[in-house]
Amino acid sequence: MHELSYMTRLANLACETANENHAKSVKKIKVEVGAMTGVLPKYLEYYFPTVIKGTILEGSELETMLIPVKAHCNNCGKEYTPTADNDYRCPSCKSIEASIIDGRDVKLKEVIVD
Ligand SMILES: [Zn+2]
C-alpha cells in the first residue's frame, strides 16, 4: 500500500508547514495527485485520519485533486494528454517522443491553518 507511505510523508510535510507558520491548528490540507502515479485519492482519504492522529493536523480535512497527465511533444512542442484514444501520441504530429510534464507527482499543494 504505497498510499500509506505517501500519506505519511504528506502529513509530515503539512505538520512542518503548520509549525513554521506557528499555527495552532489546521483546517484543511490540499493535495494534488498525479494520474500517472497510480495513487488513488480514496486510499489517501482512508489513511488520513489514522496518520494525523495526535498531530497538529488532527481534526483537519483532506482535499485531493486529481491532476491529469500532461505531455510535451519533443517534436512540435504541443502539450497534450496521452490517452489510449490518441495512442499516447502527439495529436498534431503523431510523434511518440514526448516528455511528461505533469501528473507524475503527489504534492502537498496547500495547508490552510487557523
Ligand atoms: Zn507533436
CATH (one of 3.30.2320.80, 1.10.101.10, 3.40.1160.10, 3.30.1360.200) for 2-113: 3.30.2320.80
Q: What is the whole-number distance in angstroms between the Cα of residue 25 and the centre of ligand 1?
A: 47
Q: Determine the Cα–Cα distance for residues 2 and 70; give it in Å rounded to an integer.
A: 23
Q: What is the whole-number distance in angstroms between the Cα of residue 78 and the centre of ligand 1?
A: 5
Q: Is the pLDDT of residue 34 over 80?
A: yes
**Listed residue (65, 62, 59, 68) closest to 7, CA to CA:** 62
Q: Determine the Cα–Cα distance for residues 34 and 107; give it in Å rounded to an integer.
A: 8
Which residues hold their Cβ within 5 A of ligand 1, which is an ion?
A: 73, 75-76, 78, 90, 93, 95
Residue 114 is predicted with a pLDDT of 83
Please state the rounded mean pLDDT for residues 49-74.
Answer: 97
Which of helix, strand or coil describes residue 7? Answer: helix
Q: Determine the Cα–Cα distance for residues 73 and 104; give it in Å rounded to an integer.
A: 16
Helix (H) or strand (E) holding 46: helix 41-51
What are the boundaries of each domain within the chain? 2-113
Please state the rounded mean pLDDT for residues 96-107.
Answer: 95
